[in-house]
Structure 1
């Protein structure tokens, strides 16, 4: 069974999507449509901007979404997923690729999500840290016993967990985690505490937008971050998507469930190969590949 997986924030690179734009009339049409929907030329930043330009919040998330979704659309008949999943932001790409959201609505939600997250970050200084080489339960215990807001945010693969919360609480937790034997506990250069209770203002704002958006019956199951299980009911998908901003990304659990449900090949659709690396760390036997653009689309 074919599983298609969609990357999240951090996968962006300068020049992303340019090959699609130059070689596919369909891609060109969708990129131009995206510029109109967003009200600025995101293609200029994607194709010619610096790494610094691409880090701007209003650009990063829509840029990764566009690269992933437009690539999926140019695959034509070659894109026939039995199941999909996306890491954080990538969940919106996955839901657009499998027909749950149309292109315009998917892009608008991603843009609103990015701006709502930015606002939440400005309300309270916060951060995230990567923890390597410890069992999940030890990390969870340290988070639970550290003063202040600090939670497990991204279960990326065994021995790699990202924590999220208030700056002081993260720093304290990192010290404790090193004492507990973590190989590394490293504060990340991010704008805020994503997938933590500190994203509640963004969750509320995005909830209103999601509730007023039409969700269609998906062409295949999506394994959502919040539940790590196969979902195909539109209302359930909405509920999980709203919860996603303040809940952890259960990527390890999602991949394990997809394998248990029969996934034999994981195809990463979008910039980079981060998710393929995580899949291999979750199960060394899993087959992975990158989606490749067909120039005749």
Structure 2
């Protein structure tokens, strides 16, 4: 079975999507539509901006969404997913790809999500850190024992977990994790504590927008970050999407479930190849590739 996977924040690069824009009429029309919906020229930033311009949250999230979704549409009849999943932000791309959301509604939600997350980051100083070389259970225990807010945020693959929370708590946890034998416990250059309780203001803001948006019956199951199992009902998808902002991204568990349910070929749709690398570390027996036109 073909599993299509969609990347999240961090996969962006200057020039992303330009080849699609220049070579496919459908892509050009969708990019121009996006400029109108967002009320600024995101294509200028994507195609010709600086890395710093592209790092702005209001740009990064819509840019990755657009690259992924437009690529999936340009693939046409070659795009035949049996199952889909997205890493954090990528879940919105996956939901357009499997017909749950239309292009316009998906982009509007991603834009609102980006702005709400940015606002939440500005309300309290916070951060994230990558932890390498420890079992998940050890990281979970140390987070639970550390004073303040620090939680597991991204279960990326075995031996790679990202933690998230208040700056002091994350720093304290990193020291404890190194003492416990972590190969690395490294602060990440992010704007705030994504997928932690500190995103509650953003979750509340996004919840009303999601509830007001029409979700269709998907053409294939989505394996969402929160339950990690196949979901096909619109109400369940909405609830999981809202929970995602303050809950951890359980990527390892989602991929294992997709493999168990018959996924054999994992195709990454969007910028970069990060997800393929993670999938191979989760299960070295499956095929991985990048979607290409």
The bucket for the TM-score relative to the shorter chain is over 0.9
**Whole-Å Cα distance in 2 between the matches of residues 187 and 261 of structure 1?**
35
Q: Counterpart of 1:32?
A: 32
Q: Counterpart of 1:289?
A: 289
Q: Report the Cα offset of residue 284 of structure 1.
A: 1.0
**Whole-Å Cα distance in 2 between the matches of residues 260 and 218 of structure 1?**
21
Q: Report the Cα offset of residue 286 of structure 1.
A: 1.2
Q: Counterpart of 1:104?
A: 104
Q: Counterpart of 1:135?
A: 135
Q: Counterpart of 1:258?
A: 258
Q: Counterpart of 1:64?
A: 64
Deviations 1:216-264 (A, max 9, x none): 0000000000011000000000000000000000000000000000001
**Whole-Å Cα distance in 2 between the matches of residues 24 and 53 of structure 1?**
25
Q: Counterpart of 2:191?
A: 191
Residue 48 (structure 1) aligned with residue 29 (structure 2): no
**Whole-Å Cα distance in 2 between the matches of residues 49 and 287 of structure 1?**
34
**Whole-Å Cα distance in 1 between the matches of residues 222 and 260 of structure 2?**
14
- Scaled by the length of structure 2, what TM-score is found? 1.00
**Whole-Å Cα distance in 1 between the matches of residues 170 and 3 of structure 2?**
34
**Whole-Å Cα distance in 2 between the matches of residues 129 and 264 of structure 1?**
31
Deviations 1:126-145 (A, max 9, x none): 00000000000000000000
Structure 2: segments with no counterpart, 5+ residues:
none
- Scaled by the length of structure 1, what TM-score is found? 0.98
SS in 1 for 2:127: strand
**Whole-Å Cα distance in 1 between the matches of residues 257 and 57 of structure 2?**
32
After the TM superposition, which residues 116-135 of structure 1 pair with which residues of structure 2 at under 5 Å, given as runs?
116-135=116-135
Q: Counterpart of 2:228?
A: 228
SS in 1 for 2:128: strand
Runs of 4+ in 1 over 2 A off after TM superposition: none
* Number of aligned residues: 293
Q: Counterpart of 1:154?
A: 154
SS in 1 for 2:131: strand
Structure 1: segments with no counterpart, 5+ residues:
none
Q: Counterpart of 2:203?
A: 203
**Whole-Å Cα distance in 2 between the matches of residues 16 and 157 of structure 1?**
26
SS in 1 for 2:249: coil
Deviations 1:49-96 (A, max 9, x none): 111110011100000000000000000000010000000000000001
After the TM superposition, which residues 208-219 of structure 1 pair with which residues of structure 2 at under 5 Å, given as runs?
208-219=208-219
**Whole-Å Cα distance in 1 between the matches of residues 69 and 149 of structure 2?**
35
SS in 2 for 1:162: strand
**Whole-Å Cα distance in 2 between the matches of residues 227 and 186 of structure 1?**
28
Q: Counterpart of 2:267?
A: 267
Superposition RMSD in Å: 0.3
